[in-house]
Amino acid sequence: MQKKYLILGLGLSGKAAIALLLKQNKSVIVFDDNHIDEKNFDDEIKKQKIKILRDLDLRNPDFTNLDFKEIEKVVISPGFNPNHEIVKQAKKNNIEIISEIELALQYIKKSKVLKNKIIAITGTNGKTTLSKLLEHVLNKNSIKAVALGNIKVALCSYLLKLEAQDLIVLELSSFQLENIKTKLFDIAVITNITPDHLDRYKNFQDYANQKLNILKCLKKDKILYTTKKVVKSFIVKNNKINIKEVKEDIEDIAQKICLDLKIEKQNFLNALKTFKKVEHRLEFVREINDISFYNDSKATNVASVIYAVKKIKTPIILIAGGVDKGFGYKIWKKAFIGKVKCILAIGKSAKKIKNELTGFDVLIKKDLKSAVLKAFELAKKDESVLLSPGCSSFDMFKNFEHRGKNFKKIVSLLGEK
């Protein structure tokens, strides 16, 4: 009897994992806490035989409609709860649990389908911009590169159409790094490590350890690009890692990597001129009456808000808040002094923000629209309105993109004062 792969979670990663497994003629079982509708499957996948687990009795540790003896591996999606009862039972039955990324890496190693490098990038902030910047510069210099992973294109999906000479720039979140081990990374990057996702992890060190999992997949004698702060705080001194220290600056990191890939400095700078910044990351929206509006909806942790405030040189009316991720907001105080005139707090974390930012003018608003309207009312000439939430978006929006697009739509409808 052919053993099956159990896919946990039917989001982007889960669907991609299914497609890659079916390509290899593997049998697949799918489970998601949310209702699974076959309409969500691609036509090609619909033609295949996929067993869908429904109505699992999570109170029954034996899972009467799931025989773990027939499971070869469990592929867990990044958004699936790692403490779910079904995960606990898989571990109890000594079944290997891997991520969609690890599934893809195992496939690459076995099939030898990739002839070029994998540049793997993680970090609390800056990883998306760095991934897109490297993709842009490399392609401008005749190196076919593609940014994948946490950047909305799953690695498993791309492997279905991969060309052998493609260079992969792989953005990895802490969630995606939780269950990986195959040594295939030619270059690893850790942009920074600051508190995030403390609603998922035991503590900051636990979160940092997930980020450091990127080193498990770095090939022997290959390079880790990271900052002195990361090395000092997290890298074990006797660890035999080839480290190249960089500034905590996206362009500096990208330039050093490109120089090591034999791209001349001037060619890098020429490509940099045509790079379009990532949407929802310190994105300039418009100017009204000499008031600038910035969409930084991708700022979902406290450190990214500090970064945004430092980058904007004018006085700021800040819109912040959403779903709290387990960290405090007092850390903002030092960066906000002399820069942030007023904070408009929204979402579930609004009261916590107000309580912790004593000494600052904090107003609680019921939603994003009322916050934008109030910000426009308060802002004066040569000041900026900045949406930089420092929180997740799920209390009011589908994701940070949905939040950012709503902000831009509201701002676009503002009239002249």
Determine phi and psi for 43, rounding to 5 degrees: -55, -40
Q: Are residues 225 and 296 in the same domain?
A: no
Q: Are residues 251 and 153 in the same domain?
A: yes
Tokens of 351: 């009261």
Look at residue 318 and tell me if it is in a domain: yes
Determine phi and psi for 357, rounding to 5 degrees: -95, 55
Domain that holds residue 292: 283-412
Q: Are residues 70 and 130 in the same domain?
A: no
pLDDT tens for the 417 residues of the chain, in order? 688 999 999 889 999 999 999 999 999 999 988 777 666 666 555 556 677 776 565 556 555 568 888 999 999 999 999 999 899 989 999 999 999 999 999 999 999 999 999 999 999 999 999 999 999 999 999 999 999 999 989 999 999 988 878 999 999 999 999 999 999 999 999 999 999 998 899 999 999 999 999 999 999 999 999 999 999 999 876 567 899 999 999 999 999 999 999 999 999 999 999 999 899 999 999 999 999 999 999 999 999 999 999 999 999 999 999 999 988 999 999 999 999 999 999 999 999 999 999 999 999 999 999 999 999 999 999 999 999 999 999 999 999 999 999 999 999 999 866
Look at residue 35 and tell me if it is in a domain: yes
Tokens of 337: 């002094």
pLDDT of residue 65: 64
Which of 369, 364, 358, 329 is CA-nearest to residue 346?
Answer: 364
Q: How far apart are CA 41 and CA 397, in angstroms?
A: 24
Domain termination site, one of 73, 94, 115: 94
- The CATH number of the domain holding residue 69 is 3.40.50.720
Q: Are residues 125 and 258 in the same domain?
A: yes
Residue 128 in contact with residue 278, Cβ under 8 Å? yes
CA atoms within 13 A on the CB side of 28: 27
Per-position b or e across 143-162, b if 16+ CB within 10 A of its CB: bebbbbbbbeebbbbbbeeb
Q: How far apart are CA 217 and CA 354, in angstroms?
A: 42
Q: Are residues 107 and 50 in the same domain?
A: no
pLDDT of residue 43: 58
CA distances from 193 to 127, 229, 331, 367 (A): 11, 9, 15, 31
Q: Are residues 359 and 240 in the same domain?
A: no
Q: Are residues 250 and 135 in the same domain?
A: yes
Q: Are residues 113 and 252 in the same domain?
A: yes
pLDDT of residue 238: 56
Given the structure tokens 């999606």, which residue do they identify? 77
Look at residue 278 and tell me if it is in a domain: no
Look at residue 155 and tell me if it is in a domain: yes
Look at residue 206 and tell me if it is in a domain: yes
pLDDT of residue 402: 98
Q: How far apart are CA 214 and CA 248, in angstroms?
A: 18
Q: Are residues 71 and 180 in the same domain?
A: no
Tokens of 332: 């903002």
Domain termination site, one of 94, 125, 146: 94
Tokens of 154: 């799953």
Q: Are residues 85 and 154 in the same domain?
A: no
Look at residue 109 and tell me if it is in a domain: yes
Q: How many domains does the chain have?
A: 3
- The CATH number of the domain holding residue 304 is 3.90.190.20
Look at residue 417 and tell me if it is in a domain: no
User: What is the CA 267 to chain-centroid distance, rounded?
Assistant: 29
Look at residue 111 and tell me if it is in a domain: yes
- The CATH number of the domain holding residue 140 is 3.40.1190.10
Q: Are residues 128 and 252 in the same domain?
A: yes
Q: Are residues 374 and 289 in the same domain?
A: yes
